[in-house]
Amino acid sequence: MTTAVHLLDNAVQHYGWGSPTRIHELLGTEPDGLPAAELWLGAHPSAPSTTADGVALDALVRSDPEAMLGRRVSDTFGPRLPFLLKVLAAERALSLQVHPRPHAARAGFNRENRLGLPPGSPQRSFHDDQHKPEMVVAVSQFEGLAGFRAPRAILALLEGLDGPLVAAVRDTLVADRSDRGMKQAFARLLAARSRAGCRADIDATVASVQARLAAGSPYDRADATVLQLAEQHPGDPGAIASLMLNRVTLEPGEAMFMPAGQVHAYLSGLGIEVMASSDNVLRAGLTTKLVDEAALVECATFTPTPPVHPVLETAGNRGQVHSFRAPVDEFALTVADVDAGESVALPAEGPRVVLCLEGKIALEHGDGPTVLRHGESVFVPHATGAVRVSGEGQLVCAWVP
């Protein structure tokens, strides 16, 4: 049984909304002009991390699940790492999206397999059979949309705006403010994408939002978001749909949890994301990727709800260790600051992925210290046992609660 820790080489995903500099700054690499949107640290088969020996992390986990994961985790999730850690660097808005619940993920994945869609196909909505609840912790100020506003608030935001599409959405909500009415209103808005005259209709609404903002809007933040999204994605109904969703700002160190079924979109900022190990994203706009409005509406939750913040637990002699716990079994996230002369303990069992965000840290374990500098990461198997961290810097650790 091996107790060695494994330094990781991680995949960078070049999506159009990404920042060309922020992930490169973390890794200490030269920008290449491409938008580096996400750094994946984990064992998802579409882009697994690799060890210094060139072994893919998913293969390493399968080679000895009990040593890599521990019996509790391997019995619960099988021979797979149940979480995926990401660094997310958004310069533009991500897609308006939702993640499916477990039964919907399995059904959608099997359906697309029967249709003969190959793995990785851009025509797939379901890339695996897993659900994808996720949590984000802000590194910089982080902007987003998450969950539906109350119908009364939505109607106030739509009041006085021009365009037949907005009028139809408003009429739907006036007639029925239940979850059913919310679903009908949102679906009607998204379906306009395929209707003749949609671009002109949305342009008229955006112009009225701009006029309201210029006149001293009482909804300046929501209106500015519409204009931002309309500029990035002209003619996209997602810009108007933002008025139906809660507008969220996370300050550095604050966190938000997105359960499966919650409609959301990240707008900008640098954050650490941890999620169930899945790549299932159902998109309804604000993207150049596949839009699957029907699947999103079918999987979404339309009950108005404020953004969900995970439970925060603090530890350390000065409260410098913050652990974020969401109501899911696959993941938790610890963020720790370490100063000279002190050490902090990481979770002592199960698989762990550790990323050094700043400075230089040393992981003390049975095989001796493993030193990480900013941007470097390591997979810590269950068999490694207890780990303490010393040095000077900041780290994040994803683990299974």
Question: Annotated active-site positions, please?
Answer: 283
Distance CA 395, CA 372 (A): 9
For residue 149, the SS3 value is coil
CA–CA distance, 253 with 239 (Å, rounded to integer): 28
Residue 11 CB burial class (10 angstroms; 0-12, 13-18, ≥19): middle
DSSP 306: P
Reference 38, options 58, 61, 18; nearest CA is 18
Own/partner long-range contacts of 165-170 (Cβ < 8 Å, ≥24 apart): 165/189, 165/192, 165/198, 165/201, 165/202, 165/205, 165/237, 165/240, 166/205, 166/240, 169/240
Q: Three-class SS of residue 304?
A: coil
The neighbouring-strand residues paired with 360 are 373, 392
